[in-house]
């Protein structure tokens, strides 16, 4: 049975796996909610203890960000350490999607002893003009029209067009829930600002943690070239690219993602690793 707690303002859940199972912390993307990983939970808990958490400023966690001049990805990484401390883990594997993956990379630089393996899903290591253009559009929607318009547009950046058409009713049913739980504009803009400012490209060679770079070739938000670049620069990188699924292929192509994820976290060969 899952256990939940709120520590230092961060809401987290522990979903136990088999006795003696290793631990995996799942860190979601910009939306911040641990519920993002629902399509992975049944498969993962057959092998691992899984820790979910809501990013600070989102979901069931404290809705205020730390008092500082500029919120940063390093602060997101500090929250992962806080989650580890709260559940009594000296180290763990971390799986991060986009923002969560960037936080994982920052953790690998700042606290490498806390990481066993890292999985970065559709992430990046330096500012990218296409990502910036997408976020400029989302910022304009949020500032000028409000959360509902932002949420209505969000699937365009997350999912393939055919998937949106086939799942339109589901997406519309989720909208009111997402509006009710939406962070304040101030928090969301600060989180976007942190992602746009993230740049560790020159330090990638210092990361000695084994890293799986998991990406989708048709990601509308983060070009796959970002993952391919990191794969060339990280000393212990494995690249795995699926041909279809969009930015949130953890949802649209969950089975393929889960299969590769479990293999990697278990130290086994991937079902079909991509060439760099």
Q: What is the pTM of this model?
A: 0.98
Beta carbons of 54 and 27 less than 8 angstroms apart:
no
**Residues 117-157 pLDDT 10s:** 999 999 999 999 999 999 999 999 999 999 999 999 999 99
Residue segments in the chain with a per-residue pLDDT below the cut of 50 = none
Q: Is 71 exposed, middle or buried (0-12, 13-18, 19+ CB in 10 A)?
A: buried
* Structural domain range at position 244: 3-126+198-265
Confirm whether 144 is domain-assigned.
no
Confirm whether 106 is domain-assigned.
yes
**Residues 24-58 pLDDT 10s:** 999 999 999 999 999 999 999 999 999 999 999 99
Beta carbons of 32 and 58 less than 8 angstroms apart:
yes
The count of domains in the chain is: 1
Q: What are phi and psi of 163, to 5 degrees?
A: -65, -40
Confirm whether 151 is domain-assigned.
no
User: What DSSP element (H or E) covers 144?
Assistant: helix 129-144
Confirm whether 60 is domain-assigned.
yes
Confirm whether 254 is domain-assigned.
yes
Q: What's the CA gap between 188 and 273, in Å, rounded?
A: 35
Confirm whether 110 is domain-assigned.
yes
Helix count (H) and strand count (E) of the chain? Answer: 11, 8
Confirm whether 189 is domain-assigned.
no
Confirm whether 177 is domain-assigned.
no
pLDDT value of position 215? 98
CA distances for 114 relative to 93, 100, 230, angstroms:
8, 16, 21
Beta carbons of 129 and 61 less than 8 angstroms apart:
no
Q: What's the CA gap between 203 and 32, in Å, rounded?
A: 26
pLDDT value of position 273? 64
What residues have CB less than 8 Å from 81, skipping those under 6 apart?
107, 111, 114
CATH code of residue 208: 3.40.50.1820
Q: For 240-264, b where at least 16 C-beta lie within 10 A, e where not — what string?
A: bbbeebbbbbbbbbbebbbebbbbb
Chain centroid offset of residue 127 CA: 17
């Amino acid at each position: 049975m899952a256990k939940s707690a709120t520590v230092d303002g961060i809401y987290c859940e522990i979903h136990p796996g088999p006795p003696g199972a290793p631990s995996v912390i799942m860190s979601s993307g910009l939306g911040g909610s641990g519920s993002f990983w629902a399509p992975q939970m049944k498969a993962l808990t057959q092998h691992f203890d899984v820790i979910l958490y809501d990013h600070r400023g989102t979901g069931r966690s404290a809705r205020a960000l730390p008092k500082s001049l500029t919120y940063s990805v390093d602060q997101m990484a500090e929250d992962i350490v806080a989650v580890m401390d709260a559940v009594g883990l000296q180290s763990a594997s971390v799986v991060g999607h986009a923002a969560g993956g960037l936080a994982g990379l920052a953790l690998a630089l700042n606290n490498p002893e806390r990481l066993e393996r890292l999985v970065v899903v559709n992430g990046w290591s330096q500012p990218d003009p296409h990502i910036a253009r997408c976020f400029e559009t989302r910022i304009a929607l949020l500032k000028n029209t409000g959360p509902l318009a932002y949420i209505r547009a969000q699937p365009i950046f997350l999912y393939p067009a055919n998937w949106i058409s086939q799942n339109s009713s589901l997406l519309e049913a989720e909208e009111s829930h997402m509006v009710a739980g939406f962070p304040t504009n101030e928090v969301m803009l600060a989180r976007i600002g942190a992602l746009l400012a993230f740049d560790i490209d020159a330090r990638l060679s210092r990361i000695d943690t084994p890293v799986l770079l998991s990406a989708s070739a048709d990601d509308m938000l983060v070009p796959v070239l970002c993952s391919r670049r990191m794969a060339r620069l990280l000393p212990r990188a494995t690249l795995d690219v699926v041909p279809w699924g969009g930015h949130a292929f953890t949802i649209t192509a969950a089975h393929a993602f889960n299969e590769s994820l479990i293999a990697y976290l278990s130290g086994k060969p991937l079902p079909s690793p991509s060439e760099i």
